[in-house]
Amino acid sequence: MSAASNLRSEDQFLCSICLDVFTDPVTTSCGHNFCKKCITQHWDVNHKYKCPLCNDICLSRPQLKINTFISEMVAQFRREAQQKASSSSSEQQAAKPAEVPCDVCTGTRLKALKSCLVCLTSYCQTHLEPHLTATSLKRHQLIEPVENLESRMCRKHDKHLELFCKTDQTCVCMLCSVLDHKTHEVVPLREEYEGKKAELEKTEAEIQQMIQKRRLKIQEIKESVKMSKDAADRQKAEGVQVLTALMESVERRLKELIKEIEDKQETTEKQAEGLIKDLEQEISELMERSSEVEQLSHSEDHLHLLQSFSSLKAAPPIRTGQLLEVRFCQPSYEGTVVRAVAQLDETLRKLMKKLFEAELKRVQQYAVDVTLDPDTANPDLILSDDGKLVKCVDVKKNLPDNPERFSLCVCVLGEQSFSSGRFYFEVQVKGKTDWDLGVATESINRKGKIRLSPGDGLWTVCLRNGSEYAALDAPSVRLCLRSGPEKVGVFVDYEEGLVSFYDVDAAALIYSFTGCSFSGELLPYFCPCISDGDKNSAPLLITPVWDVDRHYYYYYYY
């Protein structure tokens, strides 16, 4: 029999009074079927012989007889249900160690399907059947199988824990609420359950939000790593290209140097060979003349000697001494290597210029809009209304001596502060004979003398006497620049601990502080120095960054 037919048969064999399978089914005169005991008790209680389904009334108590047909069908249904339960029980598997076992099974304990909070018992499919069919058991509360059902009972009163004490934050039974917790705020478990469930949902939402933020952070880190890798690949490619060109230039200059020297040596050897050949020819001629002279000198024939002497004297003359007067000089190699290195140095400078131009363009991408903070300006300084220009007038203004203001040194800080990332700004220094530029920590001394060094929170370069440049490191480093910069670019990489200064117009690196250890906020630092009788009256001017390729001014904002 199929599952659908079983369900249909079960509905047909339920008593409408007890809602259970018929026991001793009887049929009333109106044709409805009931358990004999159920309909009898119904009539006894109501004192009327009325059908519970159709309200058909009999004047006298009907004689009830067992409906044999329905009785046999009910019996068959019970047998099939028992066989089905038995078959289902045999198909079930024994409870595994991590599963809740049935408390009713004997021998092999099967896996529990439900736990009853009333019976405090866990049931397998077979033993759960009464709770699904019996009217009295259907009212019991079934939950997913759990262990330690005894923990759901009050140990003191042996009652169900069905209330929650909000004062003590614990589950209590009904007796606890009127005895030990009578002055406390007690609510039904379901009410507290709904509240806690709402809190859990809120917590879950917060956790999911936290997870999402961390996933976004992971994505951000991955993107940063990818950008870093791309930048590293670009740097490697650029380095390989430049250094390969440099190596090729070195190799080319080396070959040219060797060829130049070898050509000189070859010319010298050819000249020497020619001279030696001429001298050897003269030696041969002289030896022949010597032989003739010797023979004639031994002759005793007076006439022959006199005649031969005249012919000997008339022979073609030898270039006596001319070759000996020729000075053979070794070739000069002085300056050959120096000139080669000088040409290589020129090539290197060109390559370095290209590198610095590319580097300057990269750092200019981090340009920020810097304005001067008037609350930090020394009273001898004048600032423009837009906060871009500062100059010293040597006339002290009457300004409030607030804690941020520099009282002794003629300097001023930028309004913008930075505690991470990269930033860049440019300052025009044209026409000045003295100035200091760089960055400073927020905690820099404002009320006394300032020692310009990284140890005191300042990373700066300076100009003195119109031509003396220095990086105020520890110790200070004198800078030999090919030309004085008219515009200085300042770049900071906070995490890298790097502060670099550039000659913007020449696209050249002036100096870099490396391995710096920053803590807290960094601010741009400007010192126009005293005007020195108008010799140094030109201002320091913060200028926008000019993108040569794109032909426009821009600032990059974080």
d(CA 110, CA 145) in angstroms, rounded, equals 12
d(CA 19, CA 16) in angstroms, rounded, equals 5
CB 141 within 8 A of CB 118: yes
Q: What is the token pair recorded at 489?
A: 């670019």
Residue 265 three-state SS: helix
- β partners of residue 479: 469
CB 99 within 8 A of CB 124: no
pLDDT at position 6 is 44
Write the secondary structure of 418-486 as one string of H (helix), E (strand) and C (coil): ECCCEEEEEEECCCCCCEEEEEEECCCCCCCCCCCCHHHCEEEEEEECCCEEEECCCCCEEECCCCCCC
CB 535 within 8 A of CB 524: no
pTM, entire model: 0.53
Torsion of CA 92, 97, 103, 107, to 10 degrees: 70
Q: Which helix (H) or strand (E) segment is 500 a member of?
A: strand 498-503
Nearest to 292 by CA among 261, 313, 273, 262: 313
What DSSP character marks residue 374?
G
Residues recorded for the chain: 558
pLDDT at position 91 is 53
Under-50 pLDDT residues of the chain: 1-8, 550-552, 556-558
pLDDT at position 219 is 93
DSSP 271-328: HHHHHHHHHHHHHHHHHHHHHHHHHHHT---HHHHHHHHHHHHTSPPP-TTHHHH---
Q: What is the token pair recorded at 90?
A: 């045999």
* Cis peptide leading into residue 475 (ω within 30°): yes
